[in-house]
A and B are shown apart, each in its own frame.
Chain A
């Protein structure tokens, strides 16, 4: 007995065995990966899908109701493995890509995890057996302070390996079509094995896994308890944040008052009589000060390598805007009735 799936291939519906589906899906993914750099990669794979659908149709016309793994295997043999389909001789290129890509990266392992897959990922990174690492960590966790915290931080900071490429990077295996295929099928087989296999593992392995599972459960419970206990602290934190926000607003509000004292050459009583001019000057002033500040910020962030440099057109627009703001601001300032020239006798007389 086998479970079947319904798929839509090239616009036709087929019933397909689960294992056959995995093989086909794997094959099409490999093709997609193989052609990824070629122009019209999607179209090529779509055309191949259509052809596969046609070959399936022939089988169905022969009286078969379900696409089995044998059919898929024969179809793949007929269509050819991805590495046989090289349009132009770009094997060298592929080899170069492969060599370049062998680099390990730290990921959390989603396929083998008790809590967050942190230990599993770290073990994969260093090539260790995760069970032993878990036992050692738990034993040490009882004595060394901060280990649990470190685990939690690692859980938050280290990303989960989600794609086949990332899983290969996690183990430091070269990224190529064969390996990606292996990862995709292996993931499936492992899941199946886990659910159905009755073959005995080593006693130590079983004991270790059971131990880790119990501790994992306790740890989860502990984390939930910590979260509940921390709730009041969180509340306090929120209140503090709110207070800080209030204080910041207060400072912002007090800025005009500061202006009032530092800019004695403006007659504040007259501003209300000519609001348009006042607003224009304010806007021009903001732009005249703001654009250089933004530029400086951009320069600093760019320096740390995180931000993309500004495009030339943006730069030109900002510089033009700055000049316009300066010119308009000065013109309006000279005409403003609330501007007391007496403070600048040397400039205006």
Chain B
């Protein structure tokens, strides 16, 4: 069991949720998403994002449109579809449950240790 491996597995599981979260009510293009994810230290290498975006798009959770840019070729702006919004809210509850459970568990252990 490798710590880095488990960590990266945890991050991978989170990544889809975070991408959907970032695109919630705000269309943005891949490099913006990369910047935000990097800030949050959720991705290490940028290439990870592209297969994910393409898969989410093919699954109908995302859609994109081309937007002209002043700094070069047109950019792909991704946004959530209706299905994507529904998916996100479902993930949201799942995440809340999960973090509640984990926090609860930790809290319990913490108090047990103190006592």
Contacts and interface: CB of A to CB of B under 8 A. Distances in A.
Contact of A44 (B31, B44, B50, B73): B50
Contacts of B99: none
A51 to B, nearest CB: 6
Interface stretch (B18-26, B53-61, B86-94, B106-114): B53-61
Contacts of B76: 47, 50
Interface string A16-42: 000000000000000100010011100
Contacts of B45: 77-81, 84-85
A57 B71 contact: yes
Contacts of A200: none
Given A79-B47, A80-B44, A85-B47, A47 B53 contact: yes
A84 B48 contact: yes
Contacts, number: 67
Interface residues of chain A: helix, strand, loop or mixed (majority)? helix
Candidate in A10, A40, A57 with the most chain B CB atoms within 10 angstroms: A40
B52 interface: yes
B107 to A, nearest CB: 32
Contacts of A77: 45
Interface string A71-115: 000000111110011010000000000000000000000000000
B54 A47 contact: yes
Contacts of B71: 57
B47 A38 contact: no
A288 interface: no
A10 B71 CA distance: 13
A159 B10 CA distance: 48
A53 B73 contact: yes
Contacts of B48: 80, 84-85, 87
Interface string B47-85: 110111111011000000000000111001000000000
A51 B30 contact: yes
Given A80-B45, A85-B47, A12 B31 contact: no
A193 interface: no
Contact of A40 (B44, B47, B54, B73): B54
A262 B20 CA distance: 83
B72 A80 contact: no
A78 B44 CA distance: 8
Nearest 3 A/B pairs, CB to CB:
A80-B45, A87-B51, A80-B47
Interface of B: 30-31, 34, 44-48, 50-55, 57-58, 71-73, 76
27 contacts: A12-B72, A35-B51, A38-B51, A38-B54, A39-B58, A40-B57, A43-B54, A44-B54, A47-B76, A48-B47, A48-B50, A50-B73, A50-B76, A51-B34, A51-B46, A53-B73, A54-B31, A57-B71, A57-B72, A78-B45, A80-B44, A81-B45, A84-B47, A85-B45, A85-B51, A87-B51, A87-B55
Given A78-B46, A84-B47, 8 more contacts: A38-B51, A39-B55, A44-B54, A53-B73, A54-B72, A78-B45, A79-B47, A80-B45
